[in-house]
Every structure is written in structure tokens, then in C-alpha cells.
Structure 1
Amino acid sequence: MSDHLAVDVDVAVVGAGIIGVACALQLARQGLRVQVFDPDGIGQGASFGNAGHLATEQVFPIADFSILKRLPAMLLDPMGPLRLDWTYLPRATPWFLRLLLNLRAAPFARTVAGLRGLNEASLSAWRRTLQAIGRPELLREDGSLLAYEHEQSRPALQALQARMTAQGVPVDYWDAQAVRAALPTLSDGLRGGLFFPATGHFIDPYRVVAELAHAAQALGVVFHQRRVVDGHLLPGGVALRFDGGVLRARQVLLACGAHSAALTARLTGRRVPLDTERGYHLMLPREQGRLPFALTSFERRFIMTPMQDGLRLAGTVEFAGLNKPANMARAWQLQRLSEGLFRDELNLEGASPWMGMRPSLPDSLPVIDQVEQGRVLLAFGHQHLGLTQAAITAEYIAELVRGQALPELAAYRLGRFAG
């Protein structure tokens, strides 16, 4: 890369979610001049309202071939756990076809290996990151529980335990007595579950982003609440046009989540099959102390995470694109899903709904790469594991900038997408 280009910064980061901010911090720690652009501000996208679960146990993609049998229900049930807006079906069909192709044995095995590789490194990376900024208390390493209610679910849960054990995921089976001992607020209807000791939860996902951003600013990182609308490659760097001017950088990092496809195509000529899993949450501020750690319902398919400001109910996947207005009835449906799980029903006073866009690729793996002679860095497509994988992704991006080859990133390269 030419050293004669007059640049404004070393690295321009597009996206101020958890991925972009974590990367900006790591790059600034290397002494680089970094500026971050996001039209919504710091941590205001999917990073604001995610479930807060450090989901290291999730080494399998959320979809399997049963999605074909469930497609009619997906189209007809607006409140189902997996929802496809029928008006979006024509645009979503190519993405779903690629997803199904990736469920064949060989690509599925590559996906599992890729998810496992990132997830196994995620917890220790988060420890290093939070310790470095003096905020280790933001992460609680108390584990998490996947609980079931119906006896007919037990064989499927045991099969899942065997599959996870085969992948090296720490997991223990808890019977009903163990569940009641650890979570006495739950109803007697729960028959048991799988406990994952090597997981945890963040007490406030937005605060995590804000604290990382504060640490980055202390190292000189500048954040702009502006939209990058275009960009092109220069002989020794990149020029970015934003709503207010032009910035020249030696390198650009695209970490704008579900909005990353257009700039990736503009700067690399490569079209990535990026779509969005729209996720919802319902925050209950009157529910501090209800649970000691994150609880997922096996049958009802949603998660409840204890946080500093209450209990967050989250989950469901909706495919409806980037522009469709949020259907907040899906957020309120999470409360209905919670009914009967506790001895006393949840307090809804002050409850607030939310929707965010999870960036998803059809092989369930993110893009973590450096292309165009090092000028373009890529970190997006982490689907529902963005919070989990943010710290390790940031460390990998920093190593790429230092010139490390990192063969372990082969599964996440941009080149895996043809065309």
C-alpha cells in the first residue's frame, strides 16, 4: 500500500454497533487514527436491544430442513416464532434456496465448524476486552438454561445434548428438581433442561457498546452520526462520501450489519447474499431479580434474560426486509409466551417493545476478511450471534490490520460467495 496518499485517518469504520465499536477500540489500541460513521449513533441498531445472551453454546444454525414443512405456517401465522412476510417472499426466495443448499451435509459441517471456532474463542475474548476497559462486571458468567415442559420433548432435548457434546459444548442435563432449586420462581410445569455452564449474559447490552465507545474515544476515536452514502477505491486507500463531505482513509472497515451489502458491492464488486432476521424484545422494568441467568423455552422458542434494568424477553425471527415497519404485536407476543412459566405472572408495568435487524447470510457465518490489497476490511453477517462474537471478531480484524495471515479465518472469507 502506498505511503504517499494524503489521508484523513488510518481506518474509517462504517457502523457503530457492537461489532464496529469493538473493532474501532482494538484498532485504536494499536495507535491507529480511527473514525466511525453511523447515521443512528452509537449502539442504536441491533446492538441496542438484543437478548444479551453470550450464546457460546449455539454452534448449530437456527434453520434445518424442517423449514420446508413449516413454510406454510410461517406465511400464515404473524405471531409464530419464525415468520416470513408473504409480500417479501419473492425477494427472499433466492436467499432461502441458498440456505437450503447450505443444509446439505458438507456445507452444514463447515457451518458448524465455523460457528464453533468463533464461539469457543468468544468468552475469553470478552474477558480480555472488558478487563482492558475496566468493566468486567458488565458480563455475568452464570451459565444459561434451555428448559422443557412436555415429556415428549425430552428425546429431542437429549439428542441435542448428544450433538452438542460431540461438538465440545459443555452441557449438563438438569432434572425438574435441579431446575426448581436454581430457579424457584418458575412453575412446577418445567420438567428439566440443558444447562450450559460456559455461557453468560450482559447486564445491559447497550451499556456494553457505550462503555467500549467511551474507551475508544479516550484513545482518540471520533464518532460521527452521519451516513456513508458511497465510496471508491484509491491507489493507496479509500474515499468515502458521507452526508456532509468526503473522507480519505488508508483502510475502511464495513461493519454496518444488515446494511453492509451495498457498500461491499461498491468497493469490492462482490454481491453478498445478505438479508435481515428482524428480532423483537419486550423489556419489563419491574422484573429485576426474577431470574438469576438467561432462560430459554425449548417449546415456546424465546429467551428471558435478567438485566440491570429489568427482565428482557426476546426472540422470534421475522423475514420482512429492511424497510417494512416493525410489527410490535410480535414483541407483545413474547409476554403471552411467558404465561404459565412462572409461579406468579410477570409484571407488565412500564413494558417497552423494540425491533432490530440481525444481519444474516445463508450459511449462518459472518464475513471477516481483508480484501482489495488490504484497503477494505469486512466484519458483518453475524446473525443472532453479533454480541457473542464481537470481541473475537475485533481481535481478528486488528490482527489482519497488523498483517497477520490468519488461516483460521478461511471459513469467513468474502470469496466463498460466487459472483
Structure 2
Amino acid sequence: MTLTGNVLTPGQPDADIAIVGAGIVGVACALQLARQGRRVLLVDRQAPGHGASFGNAGHLATEQVFPIADLSILKRLPSMLMDPMGPLRLDWKYLPRALPWFTRLLLNLRAAPFQRSVAGIRTLNEGSLGAWQRLLGSIERSQLLKQDGSLLVFERPESRPALEALQARLQQQAVPVQSWSAQAVQQAAPQLSRQIQGGLFFPATGHFLDPYQVVCELFDAALKLGVRFVQQEVHTGQVHAGGVTLSSAQGALTARQVLIACGAHSARLTAALTGKQVPLDTERGYHLMLPNEHQRLPFAVTSLERKFIMTPMTEGLRLAGTVEFAGLERPPSMQRAWQLHRLSQGLFERDLDATGATPWMGFRPSLADSLPVIDQVCEGRVLLAFGHQHLGLTQAAVTAEWLGRLVQGEPQAHLAAYRLDRF
């Protein structure tokens, strides 16, 4: 089968590589592989960029080198079950299904696996900013990324020791970080509350002015190189001597290789093609977009105590954060998105305007060790790039570069930490 537009016609295999997933990781990989001369077919049940890539915080979070949880999660578990509006929530109805994943998560908090996770996250993050500069520069869209740092602020004097401890841990991991006084915060972001005591500034970070536009620009560039897109939901697949066959309600798609890059939806297809069950779960994240707030912040600002981030974008100010474990099927709890506006109250000299605000929820694909899978298995027929947890946007460009080298057969010893067979 080959593809013309969105119409399938009889013929040879549809592509050299079929990529399942048209989020930021899948689209970046599609562009990379097309530049390497591959015939690429991109497949997704939604239009490109309409999953988690549409509504993420827009923060290039190279400073976030620690796993998604630490041992304090044990202390927070009771409140997670009781507080529907807390920053970390577990739907008690989902608890039986989540227990195996949480058990693996806790086992990975032991010293040795925890340090392996830190090293793996740091390695990806250290290459992320440069990879994004190269990728956006290659399509002449460098202006979509503001490389102006980000700020973590604190409000209570008793929070200072925790902030100083975090700074020390980050410095041990060679993360560029500066301690800012309250005066420095006010000078850089004068609309923030004068109750803020200070913070940590991360100069090697930045933010995207419109994460969805980034996906669209990369997708358009990929189309110009011959990448084809079909909107179908892939249900299962089969690896065979000639490559891979993917099955959907609209029929079969064939390719010499397949790349699984469909984020939180990757586990089922990975199991079907490789026989491997991966400990993948979804951290449901929310945002609230404020269209009337364009001049409040010069860069992304996170609150240490309130545990959410505010990112200035072309369309306004995006408030994002919270973690909810409730799986892929349960409907969103949009009051959690509106809770972000309530959390912002008191962080500014004048409260934010929520007139016309729009809420959103998406699925962060998180593996129990906080590392993605980036690998090539089944005698090279199955490629994998999923599970980037909170860092999908941050790590997409460097993942695409690494995957491109993997496909070309270049030695990739540094990918050992991200292999599928670690599970």
C-alpha cells in the first residue's frame, strides 16, 4: 500500500519507516529521518500536535534532572487520595491498576537506580538546548524559542533551607543555577509580589512562544521533504520478514520499520510488536490559558510552594502543572485547571485576569524510572522513542538526533540507559 494525501492505494510498502505518533517527538523524528533520505509515513489518530504536545507548559526544562518522585511521595500518599485539588492526586478508583507502577517507582528510588535515572535524564537534558537551536535554525524558526532562562521563586522564609538544598544538589549535577535575592527578582519581574523572598534562576533554559506552532512548523517542513501523514488509530501490529504491518479500522499499513512514538499510548503497541510489557503510566497534566495576560512575566516562573509554572506565550500567559494519576480513560477534572488560577492569587501585585481563560488536560507518558525508551529492537524493524514524562518537549529534538544516528547504524553506547530490555 502507498499513500497519496490521505488515500491509500495498492502498491509497494507504504514507507521505509512508519511513525506512530504525531506529537513533538514523532514529528521531530519524522523530519530527521526524511532528511536522511527515508520515505516516512506519519500516523496518528489525531491531527499533528493535538495530544500532550498541544498543551504542555512550553518550558525548555533542562534544569529538571531529577526523577519524577522521591521518597517523600510516601508521606504524601494519604493526601493524594483525599485532596482532589492537591498538586499531586491519585484517583482512588485507579489505585489497583496503578499499584504495580507505583511499586516499580518506589523500587527505583533506591540509591543505585535513582542515580542511574539522574544520569540518564541529565545526559538528555545537556544536549537538549543545542539540539533545539539546530532544529529550529534548520527551518528558519529560531524565534519560536526564547532562550532567556527561567526562575523558581519562594515566598516563605522557612522555605529557604529547602531552596538552598536544591541549589546544592543541582550544582552537584553541573546544572547552571544562580541564587537570586528578592531585589533581583523584583528587578527582572516587577509585577511579581513583593512578598517573594528570592529564588533560583536557570540561565541555560528557555520557553517556547507556542508549543503547538512548533509542532506545526516542523510538520510543514517534514511535508516539504516528502513525509506523508494519515489520520488513523493503530490498534495493533505484526513484525515479519518483510518489515512491519500495522492494523487500524481503515485497513493495514506496511513499512520496513516502525517507530513507536505515541507517548502515553505506546504500551499496547510495544507489547504487540515486541512482546515486552513496559511499566508506562500517564501523569495527567492541566493548563489554564489566560488570553488577557501578555506582559506579566519576561520568562517562565515556577512557584516552589504552590508547585505550578507560569509561561508567557504569544496567546497569553499559560498556567500549568499538577499531577493526576487516573489513567487514559477517565474524563478530565477541569476544576483542576481552574485551580491553577486560584493558586496564582497572591503571586502578583495585581491578580491575574482569567476572563476568557481556556482549560486543558493532557497525558504525560511516564515510565517508572523516569527515563524514556530510545531503542531499536526486533532485528532493527521496531524503533522506540516514548516515555519522556514531563520532558517530552525539552528532549524531543535531541531524541530525534539520537534516533537518526541509531537508524544509520552509528555506535550509540550512551543509549544503554534507555534500552527496552532494562525492564
Match for 1:408 among 386, 401, 414? 414
2:223 corresponds to which residue?
A: 217
1:208 corresponds to which residue?
A: 214
How far residue 404 of structure 1 moved from its aligned partner, in angstroms, is 1.5
How far residue 6 of structure 1 moved from its aligned partner, in angstroms, is 4.9
1:231 corresponds to which residue?
A: 237
Q: Is the 8 A contact 1:236 1:375 kept in 2?
A: no
Q: Is the 8 A contact 1:121 1:392 kept in 2?
A: yes
Name the SS for the 2:190 alignment partner.
Answer: coil
CA distance in 2, matches of 1:223, 1:238: 17
CA distance in 2, matches of 1:243, 1:386: 28
Question: Are 1:267 and 2:273 an aligned pair?
Answer: yes
CA distance in 1, matches of 2:94, 2:246: 31
Match for 2:49 among 33, 38, 43? 43
1:304 corresponds to which residue?
A: 310
CA distance in 1, matches of 2:61, 2:193: 25
Match for 1:290 among 291, 296, 320? 296
Match for 1:10 among 2, 10, 16? 16
Match for 2:169 among 145, 163, 171? 163
CA distance in 1, matches of 2:112, 2:12: 47
Question: Are 1:241 and 2:216 an aligned pair?
Answer: no
Q: Which runs of 5+ in 2 are unaligned?
A: 1-10
2:4 corresponds to which residue?
A: none
Match for 1:392 among 391, 394, 398? 398
CA distance in 2, matches of 1:40, 1:7: 23
How far residue 241 of structure 1 moved from its aligned partner, in angstroms, is 1.4
1:374 corresponds to which residue?
A: 380
How far residue 7 of structure 1 moved from its aligned partner, in angstroms, is 2.2
- 1:357 maps to amino acid: F
Name the SS for the 1:201 alignment partner.
Answer: strand
2:347 corresponds to which residue?
A: 341
- 2:94 maps to amino acid: Y
- 1:340 maps to amino acid: G
2:365 corresponds to which residue?
A: 359
Question: Are 1:147 and 2:147 an aligned pair?
Answer: no
CA distance in 2, matches of 1:71, 1:160: 22
Match for 1:30 among 36, 53, 57? 36
Q: Deviations over 1:347-371 (max 9, x none)?
A: 1111000000000001000000000
Match for 1:185 among 188, 191, 200? 191
Question: Are 1:107 and 2:113 an aligned pair?
Answer: yes
Q: Is the 8 A contact 2:14 2:41 kept in 1?
A: no
Q: Is the 8 A contact 1:80 1:316 kept in 2?
A: yes
State the TM-score, normalized to the length of structure 2.
0.97
2:5 corresponds to which residue?
A: none
Q: CA RMSD in A?
A: 0.9
2:64 corresponds to which residue?
A: 58
CA distance in 2, matches of 1:348, 1:154: 31
| Shift >3 Å, 4+ stretches | none
- 1:415 maps to amino acid: D
1:172 corresponds to which residue?
A: 178
Name the SS for the 2:84 alignment partner.
Answer: coil
How far residue 242 of structure 1 moved from its aligned partner, in angstroms, is 2.1
CA distance in 2, matches of 1:245, 1:180: 59
- 2:136 maps to amino acid: L
- 1:203 maps to amino acid: L
